[in-house]
Amino acid sequence: MPQIFHRSTNTLSRLSIFGALFALAALLWGIAAVNRSAYMTGQGVARVQPVQFSHKHHAGQLGIDCRYCHTQVETAAYAGIPPTQTCMNCHAQIWADSAFLAPVRASFRTDRSLVWQKVHVLPDYVYFNHGIHVQKGVGCVTCHGRVDRMNQVYRAASLQMEWCLACHRRPERYLRPRERVFDLAWRPRGDQAALGRRLVKAYGVRTRTDCSACHR
């Protein structure tokens, strides 16, 4: 009885079996890659804001402290987006006629809020608290990147859960002295691991990876 299938069928079937496995793996990898991509996370994507406010200019070149505008960041859950009043503290005097600032002046005049595009968006079921992170020595730059070098602010980190957990599991890799939290240019002198271990102890940092730490 002649063979129904040609000998090459063996190779073909082997290829298709392994090919299917490969295709499946590639699909999964693809999904994971898409999920972590800037398209999905918004990482590195600058948003167009109603006012062309430059952090690079204000925080970088002028050297204004983060807390001048984000006043509550040390104690509250939200860092706080400054009210129009804060802009007008200076811009009632400086660049008072600038066309760039027309929306700010309009907001102040009409008592209607500026509507900013949110850059660092967390899902609604995540309850993040700025205050405790600042108190435990997590620098602004650790999550927000070199804001002092950004003209338009973008997300420096993915803000995905695995990114959060990287620090919650190994905080010693990221911590800095409390007095350096707002120093965007600070770099550890010497061994970060040794410094981190010291700070973990000094600040009583616990590796909280319980779901209830962030989800309620």
Partner 1 sequence: MTSAAAPIDLTALRARLAGRGGRALWRSLDELAESPAFLELLHEELPQHAAALARSVDRRQFLKLMAASLGLAGLAACARPPEDKIVPYVKQPEELVLGEPLFYATAVPLGGFAVGVLAESHEGRPTKLEGNPTHPASLGAIDPPTQATLLGLYDPERSQTITSAGKIQTWSGFLAAVRAALDAQRPRGGAGLHVLTETVTSPTLHAQLRALLAEFPQATWHQWEPAGRDAARAGALRAFGAPVETRYDLARADVVLALDADLFATGPSRLRYAREIAGRRRPGPGMSRLYAVESMPTTTGAVADHRLALAAADVEGFTRTVAAELGLAVAAAPAVAVAPHHAWVRALVDDLRAHRGACAVVPGEHQPPAVHALAHAINDALGNGGRTVIHTDAVEAAPTDQAASLRALVAAMRAGAVEVLLILGGNPVYAAPADLDFAGALGKVALRVHLSLHQDETSELCHWHLNAAHVLEAWSDARAHDGTVTILQPLIAPLYGGRSAHEVLAALTGPERPGHDVVREHWQGVHSGGGDFEAFWRRALNDGVVPDTALAPRTVALRPGWDVPTPAAPAAGLELVFRPDPYLIDGRFANNGWLQELPRPITKLTWDNAALLAPATAERLGVANGDVVEVAVGGRSAHAPVWVVPGHALDSVTVHLGYGRRRGGALATGVGFDAYALRTADAPSIARGAALRPTGRRHAFACTQDHQSMEGRALVRAATLAEWRAHPDFAHAFEETPPRDRTLYPPHAYEGYAWGMAIDLGACIGCNACALACQAENNVAVVGKEEVARGHEMHWLRVDRYFAGDLDAPAILHQPVPCMQCENAPCEVVCPVNATNHDGEGLNVMVYNRCVGTRYCSNNCPYKVRRFNFYLYSDWTTETLKMARNPDVTVRSRGVMEKCTYCVQRINRARIHAEEAGRRIADGELVTACQQACPTEAIVFGDVNDPTSRVARLKADPRNYALLGELNTRPRTTYLAAVRNPNPALAAEQRS
- Which listed residue (6, 7, 118, 189) binds partner 1 by CB under 8 A? 118
Give, in order, the Cα–Cα distances in Å from 12 to each of 2, 22, 25: 19, 15, 19
- Between 41 and 152, name the residue whose CB sits nearer to partner 1: 41
Q: Least Å distance between CB 85 and partner 1?
A: 5
Query: 181: Cβ–Cβ under 8 A, 6 or more apart, which residues?
Result: 134, 137, 138, 139, 140
168 C-beta neighbours (distance < 10 Å), count = 18
Report the Cα–Cα distance between both ends of the chain, in Å, rounded.
70
157 is a contact residue toward partner 1 (CB under 8 A): no
Q: Least Å distance between CB 178 and partner 1?
A: 11
- Between 14 and 206, name the residue whose CB sits nearer to partner 1: 206
127 is a contact residue toward partner 1 (CB under 8 A): yes
- Which listed residue (13, 52, 61, 85) binds partner 1 by CB under 8 A? 85
Please give the DSSP secondary-structure letter assigned to residue 46.
B
65 is a contact residue toward partner 1 (CB under 8 A): no
Query: 188: Cβ–Cβ under 8 A, 6 or more apart, which residues?
Result: 176, 195
- Cα distance between residue 80 and residue 103, in whole Å: 20
Give, in order, the Cα–Cα distances in Å from 132 to each of 27, 78, 88, 136, 140: 40, 11, 30, 6, 12
Q: Least Å distance between CB 134 and partner 1?
A: 9
- Which listed residue (76, 90, 166, 195) binds partner 1 by CB under 8 A? 76
Q: Which residues lie near partner 1 (CB under 8 A)? A: 39-42, 72, 75-78, 80-85, 107-108, 111-118, 121, 123-125, 127, 129, 131-132, 135-136, 204, 206, 208, 210-213, 215-216
